[in-house]
Amino acid sequence: MGDWCRSDVPPVKALSVLGSTGSIGTQTLEIVAEFPQRFSVVALTAGRNLELLVQQIRQFNPEVVALADPALLPELRERISSLSLQRSPDLVAGSEGLCQAAAWPTADLVVTGIVGCAGLLPTLAAIEAGKDLALANKETLIAAGPVVLPALERSGSRLLPADSEHSAIFQCLQGTPWPDTARLSTGIPTPGLRRIQLTASGGAFRDWEAADLVNATVADATSHPNWSMGRKITVDSASLMNKGLEVIEAHYLYGVDYDHIEIVIHPQSIIHSMVELSDSSVLAQLGWPDMKLPILYCLSWPERLETPWRRLDLTEIGQLTFRAPDPAKYPCMDLAYAAGRAGGTMPAVLNAANEQAVALFLQERIHFLDIPKLIEAACERHRTDWRSEPSLDDVLAVDRWARTAVAEASTLPLAA
């Protein structure tokens, strides 16, 4: 073929956006709208926000739309019947529908923006279909690392981290020898990587004394100082469980043992994480706290796209500060390390117990300080049923069990 046939126009990457109405989903769609020549949307999935979903269908004209709840399908059908679309999307629902959208044949990359372990089956469907993933839904990897990692290995799907800390690590590691650059994250130890330092803003209670947490309300816990995110992850940031979950996420993604993954409170959220290499060099990735950057990098990798986004100016910030987290103030952190070290089914119990406890807290049925107590009790009870190499069914079973255990325990008087 002659040179005249060669095109310098890069192909448009087609996305399936799971959880399109959430914080990650809407920011992903903002990027697509900003780079229409680079990205398109072929699949959308959502929970209950039909109003926003319909706007997204009008704007992006996907090939398929999946709703978590089949009971909402007739209303969605009714609402989109009045839109003048180039083509009507296929409408599907329920767990099967979410999996169909995740494995949609024309999708090149699946953005996993569903919150919680509800993202597990769609994520596995995407992997089995050989799709590359932009992983935001960390709960899936934490609950089911021993299932997800072998599935990635089998399918050759590439897992690109959208979580800002793991994106920072991933970006820093681009300059080191990878075992296999095509398979990014399979838990295989990364040569030369000695230690990971995950930065944490400290969440809503960063400047509170531990003793004052008895007065913490839902409104207090859901107002994050630096990041605008969904309610569950904002509460996880306030308890530091989010960072604990990210420690387990980092262990599964980069194969680093728990003794070499540390958490450092960095209130400005400018350094998004650091890696220490074997020669003692430390690499960090910096930027304003804006999730669009790590999401964009997942979408454009291995390329860097030109953006008009706000440039980082360190003189504007003045100083970057760091301190060690207080384990007495943030008991969720040690619970996460313990569950991660136990491995097997324990992280699934930790995650499900946390999801259930946070949901009860958001409904004002338990106090903020009850969250770690309920999680600890569930992990403790699970010791006798713990499995080292769980199957998918084992993970789903312990996930269900832990939610019930927390719901039951929360109706009893909680230990002081």
> Based on CB atoms, which residue is closest to ligand NAD, 66 or 149?
66
- Give me the least distance between CB of 17 and Mg ion, in Å please: 19
> Based on CB atoms, which residue is closest to ligand NAD, 184 or 377?
184
Which residues lie closer than 8 Å to 180 by C-beta, 6 or more apart? none
With CB atoms as reference, the residue minimizing the distance to Mg ion is: 163
Note the Cα 24 to chain centre separation in Å. 9
> Based on CB atoms, which residue is closest to ligand NAD, 118 or 298?
118
Specify which residues 134 forms β-bridges with: 111, 160
> Based on CB atoms, which residue is closest to ligand NAD, 163 or 276?
163
- Give me the least distance between CB of 26 and ligand NAD, in Å please: 8
- Give me the least distance between CB of 364 and ligand NAD, in Å please: 18
CB 141 within 8 A of CB 249: yes
**Taking the chain, what is the end-to-end CA distance rounded to the nearest angstrom?**
76
What mask of x and - would describe binding to Mg ion in positions 118 to 157, judged by CB under 5 A? Answer: ----------------------------------------
d(CA 310, CA 88): 37
Specify which residues 17 forms β-bridges with: 44, 111
> Based on CB atoms, which residue is closest to ligand NAD, 68 or 263?
68
With CB atoms as reference, the residue minimizing the distance to ligand NAD is: 22
Residue 249 found at the interface with Mg ion (CB under 5 A): no
Number of neighbours of residue 134 by Cβ within 10 angstroms: 28
**Nearest CA-CA partner of 110 in 137, 131, 139:** 131
- Give me the least distance between CB of 383 and ligand NAD, in Å please: 27
- Give me the least distance between CB of 316 and ligand NAD, in Å please: 22
d(CA 56, CA 160): 24
* C-alpha pair distances (Å), 232 with each of 22, 87, 370: 11, 35, 16
CB 352 within 8 A of CB 405: no
Which partner, ligand NAD, Mg ion, none, binds residue 136 by CB below 5 to 8 Å per kind? ligand NAD
**Which residues of this chain interact with ligand NAD, rule CB under 6 A?**
19-25, 46-47, 49, 68, 98, 113-115, 118, 136-139, 163, 227, 229-230, 233, 291
Residue 163 found at the interface with Mg ion (CB under 5 A): yes
> Based on CB atoms, which residue is closest to Mg ion, 57 or 196?
196
- Give me the least distance between CB of 290 and ligand NAD, in Å please: 9
Taking the CA atoms of 56, 58, 60 and 66 in sequence, report the sign of the dihedral they define.
positive
Placement of tokens 């049925």 in the chain:
365
Q: Which residues bind Mg ion (CB under 5 A)?
A: 163-165
